[in-house]
Amino acid sequence: MGPVMKNTLKETMKKRPVFGATVLSGSPMMVEALGHFGYDFVFIDAEHTPLEVTQLKELILAARFAGISPLVRVTRPEPVEIRKAFEIGAEGVVVPHIKTKAEMELCIQGAKFPPKGRRGYDPSVRSAGYGAGDYDAAAYIEHSNETELVIPLAEDFEFIENIDEILLVEGLEIVNFGPVDFALSKNKVFCGMDMPEIVDALTTIIEKCRAKNISVMVPGIPPTYESVKSIIDMGANMLAVGTDIMHFNNGLRTVKENVVSKFQS
């Protein structure tokens, strides 16, 4: 029996940029829609929602059903929380507010099986197919270590200060830049990707990551062709183009302005 979870995002990223959106609503329907519309990944958020990581299992199942790679943003660099996200079927885990090499190493320890980390093993989980059929433990461990992604969020000035040390951690393959919180960490209010502080930080991250063959994930703000192309031209190859709430709001606003308001005035 081959690997239960067909993790494809890493291979796709070798060929072209990949695109996704954040799901904050907790709705499996939103996840499936992203898959059916042909997006590459869904960024399922457990940090800015009331959901615990273990409550995301239906959203991850929806992603797997719709053929879209599920990434889960956990709440902190906590090894058990990271392991649980992978065990319920996440292809990648995004960890917020990583500031030091030690925090990055802790994430890898929770995400990777020995010899790459110290992740606890149990075959009775979704990612292992519950150990059913002709389950192969060695193949499962190897496949998990090679294809599951550990993604730190660079959203604090300390990440930039410690970036050279952080990027030395083996198993780090993608860095996710969080411009809004990065600006706040510098006591600035985010007002666009063209802010000097944002441009400088993103340029540093891309230059240092690409030199080590590490991918860079960036929010496409605003989600327009021109904006996204400019970020790709800088060297990013993973774009989160908005959230389900944002797109829902934009749809409601358009109908309100173009239809409903004309009958309410």
Q: What is the pLDDT of residues 87-99, one digit of tens each?
A: 999 999 999 999 9
In a domain, residue 4? The reply is no
* In the predicted structure, residue 73 carries a pLDDT above the cut 60: yes
Q: Say what percent of the chain tops pLDDT 90.
A: 96
Indicate whether 2 belongs to any domain: no
For the segment 44-70, what is each residue's pLDDT rounded down to a tens digit?
999 999 999 999 999 999 999 999 999
Q: What total of structural domains would you count in the chain?
A: 1
Question: What is the pLDDT, as a whole number, of residue 4?
Answer: 76
Whether the per-residue pLDDT at 1 is higher than 80: the answer is no
| Section 153-159 average pLDDT | 98
Question: H-helix or E-strand containing 94?
Answer: strand 92-95
The DSSP bridge partners found for residue 69 are 41
We report the CATH number of the domain holding residue 141 as 3.20.20.60
pLDDT single digits (tens) 200-233:
999 999 999 999 999 999 999 899 999 999 999 9
- Does 189 reside within a domain? yes
- Per the listing, tokens 């500031």 go with 99
**138 pLDDT above the threshold of 70:** yes
Residue 23 CA, chain-centre distance (Å), reads 11
Residue 35 domain boundaries: 9-264
- Average of pLDDT values for 93-113? 98
- Is 142 part of any domain? yes
Q: What is the pLDDT of residue 71?
A: 98
Distance CA 63, CA 90 (A): 9
> Which residue has better confidence, 265 or 118?
118
What is the reported pTM? 0.95
1 lies in a domain? no
Q: What is the pLDDT of residue 3?
A: 67
Residue 78 lies in a domain: yes
Is residue 3 in a domain? Answer: no
- pLDDT at position 265 is 77
